[in-house]
Amino acid sequence: MLHANGFGLAGVIGMPVTHSRSPTIHNFWLNAHGLRGAYVPLAVQPERLKDALAGLVALGFRGCNVTMPHKQTAMPLLDRVNETARRIGAVNTIVVESDGTLSGFNNDGNGFVQSLRDARPDWRADEGPILLLGAGGAARAVVVALLENGARDIRISNRTAEKAQAIAAEFGSAISTVAWEDRSAAVADVALLINSTDRGMIGKPALEIDLGRLSAKTLVADLIYTPLETPFLADARVRGCTTVNGLGLLLNQARLAFQAWFGVLPDVTPALIKAIQATF
């Protein structure tokens, strides 16, 4: 939305939101680019979500990020949702358009793909089999992005097999499932290995997997960024693998949102990384 005074407001809607690094990221970029504006945390109870979204327009916001528990429930409250977000079944970014309508997007998957390319510029989604551990909302975003980038062989392994089977049934022949008890053996021939579970996050037990059959050529990614190196990534790194943590996803999806709201595609700089690390 255009503003006569040139001051831009954006934020993150969720409950809770105090843990979010998004204010650190976006306010850093606003300062770096000399833009007048602010990015604020917006704690919104589920029953007030409809009012809060209307409030974005009334208060002159450019838009907002959306985090749990609103990523699915916000969708029917928006005027339009792009195809990628519809396939994922969730939005993570809302843009207030110049006419006051609300558009929804999901940049999580694209942010993840870009983080892979940041680590390995020649990476291709179709260069070999992909093993995805987990079948939650984050896994859906990853699956959609990988398919949109040409992946032909995605194998999903999840503790609850039915969740993995449901994704496979929904997204077609490029998706298959691997029994959870077979996950360690399944790493042997994959080009990309991804953890989308919460195992390894601060306060959670480590992911239980034997990487003894893992090739040093395999690209290994974890969607977690607290800590920046999970035991899973540490094990892969000592085996010679290139590893990618979840901070790249966070930053790259944020770049796309910032561009939509403020008209500038910002860079990820060492100074920004330092600012984020100071929040851990």
Q: How many CB atoms lie within 10 A of CB 137?
A: 18
- Collapse the DSSP code of 162 into the 3-class scheme (helix H, G, I; strand E, B; otherwise coil) and give the result: helix
Rounded distance between C-alpha atoms, residue 246 and residue 224, angstroms: 5
Phi-psi region of 92 (alpha: psi -120 to 50; beta: other; left: phi over 0): alpha
Rounded distance between C-alpha atoms, residue 213 and residue 220, angstroms: 13
Instruction: Cis check for the bond before 231: say yes or no (omega within 30 of 0).
Output: no
Rounded distance between C-alpha atoms, residue 71 and residue 10, angstroms: 17
Cα torsion for 86, 91, 92, 98, to the nearest 10°? 100
- Choose, from 50, 71, 204, 217, the residue flagged as catalytic: 71
| Amino acid of residue 180 | W
Is residue 256 within a helix (H) or strand (E), and if so which, with residue range? Answer: helix 247-262
User: Under a CB-based contact definition with an 8 Å cutoff, are residues 90 and 75 in contact?
Assistant: yes
- Is residue 71 part of the annotated active site? The answer reads yes
Beta-bridge mates of residue 12: 41, 65
Rounded distance between C-alpha atoms, residue 250 and residue 86, angstroms: 20
Catalytic positions, written as ranges: 71
